[in-house]
Amino acid sequence: MDINLEKYKKIQLMNKSYLSYKNMHNEFRPYVMFTNAPNYQNQYVNTDEFGFRLSSNINNKKISLKTLKKEEKCNVVLGGSTVFGMGASSDAKTIPSYISKTGIFCQNFGVRGATSHQEFLIFQNFVKFLPRIKNVYLISGVNDLAVASQDNSFFYPEFGCVFSEEMQFHNFWSQYSATSKIKWQVGKNKFFIIIDYLCRKFFLVRKFFSLMNFFLPSNKHQKDNLSKPEATFNEKFLHLKKSLSNDLRCWNALSKEFDFKIIYVLQPAIRWSNKKLNNHEKFLSNNQRISVGKKFYDSFMNKEIYQNFKKFVHLECKKNEIDFLDSNEILNEFPEDKNFFLDLCHLTDDGNEYIAKKLIEKYEK
């Protein structure tokens, strides 16, 4: 097993398009919790005023969500960062943009870090902008299992959880404070950002604030009533299944109301894939496992959990008249010597094109 974290980091730093995504923040939005940064622009990735990535139609023209109703019909793709196109070299190299080459524009509703429930809420909020819908593709799965795998995640069984909630809550608070008209609140926010940086960088600073917490306890109401919910991976896995079951039932109702077809695509993942990984992909997988933490990585990037989840989703889709496709099963046709994965679930331009091509062959002809 080739473990070289310095080399791994250099590979990531050399990928300029990949780094442009790392610099993009998320913003708070009601109900859906967060979206991608709105009006984000650079040579690799561009978003609209809602934070959705711009897609190109068959004539390489980018179509705004606000003008989409002028089209006769459209397709829609929902999911997390894989759908958003994390790492794609341009807006034209994402799965939705490739699907748009069929002549029917495909709206990219991918939000980095979104879970299945957030995907449903995003569609519900923005269906008002859409013309007649042909197909809705849900390219999903990894974020749900990643949420269940997070240690000490802020998980409420009937409400669920958001991915990387500590980072998201910090971003939301910073966003709220930064837009305040009261100058001292803006200054306070900047002060806490400095403290946060120092705490992450220096052990003694963390120790000092640990002692501060001891001498300045929470008020009695917080002590008595606000304990953080705790759940094991298996408990969270069970609850996310219940949540997804409910979402798929609601998707079925929406598809009948709006007369479109739904396809659930279990997204590709490097440890689930039938592709024979080349040496570069093996190196990325092994080093990312160390980088993000073995326990977290192994909790969902393994065949047993994948097979369990796949069987469950397949049965729920059948129950709700939703087509099911496991994209991992079709990767054995992809050339071994070409890179399909950029990391555990984000794809190269070739990977995005391959998935889009398979979807077009099956559902767009």
pLDDT of residue 185: 76
Mean pLDDT across 206-210:
85
When comparing pLDDT for 103 and 207, which is higher?
Answer: 103
Provide the pLDDT confidence category of residue 193 given band limits of 50, 70 and 90: confident
With a cut of 80, say whether residue 178 has pLDDT above it: no
303-338 pLDDT tens trace: 899 999 999 999 999 999 999 999 999 998 999 999
Is the sign of the CA dihedral 76, 82, 86, 88 positive or negative?
Answer: negative
With a cut of 60, say whether residue 224 has pLDDT above it: no
Provide the pLDDT confidence category of residue 223 given band limits of 50, 70 and 90: low
The answer to whether 45 and 37 have CB atoms below 8 angstroms apart is no
With a cut of 70, say whether residue 216 has pLDDT above it: no
To which residue do tokens 């939703």 refer?
Answer: 322
The answer to whether 16 and 90 have CB atoms below 8 angstroms apart is no
The answer to whether 264 and 323 have CB atoms below 8 angstroms apart is yes
**Which residue from 243, 261, 244 is spatially nearest to 252, judged by alpha carbons?**
261
Least confident window among 9-13, 216-220, 294-298: 216-220
How much of the chain, in percent, has pLDDT values that exceed 90? 58
With a cut of 90, say whether residue 150 has pLDDT above it: no
Mean pLDDT across 186-210:
83
Least confident window among 92-106, 176-190, 347-361: 176-190
Mean pLDDT across 27-52:
93
Which domains, from first to last, does the chain contain?
5-157+232-364 (3.40.50.1110), 165-225 (no CATH)
Mean pLDDT across 84-104:
94
**Which residue from 104, 109, 110, 93 is spatially nearest to 353, judged by alpha carbons?**
93
pLDDT of residue 219: 58
Provide the pLDDT confidence category of residue 213 given band limits of 50, 70 and 90: confident
> Mean pLDDT over all residues of the chain?
89
Mean pLDDT across 136-165:
85
pLDDT of residue 174: 76
The runs of H, that is alpha helices, within 71-216 are 81-84, 95-100, 116-126, 142-149, 165-178, 183-201, 203-215
Provide the pLDDT confidence category of residue 25 given band limits of 50, 70 and 90: confident
**3-class SS of residue 349:** helix
With a cut of 70, say whether residue 220 has pLDDT above it: no
With a cut of 90, say whether residue 243 has pLDDT above it: yes
Taking residue 28's Cβ as centre, other Cβ atoms within 10 Å add up to 16
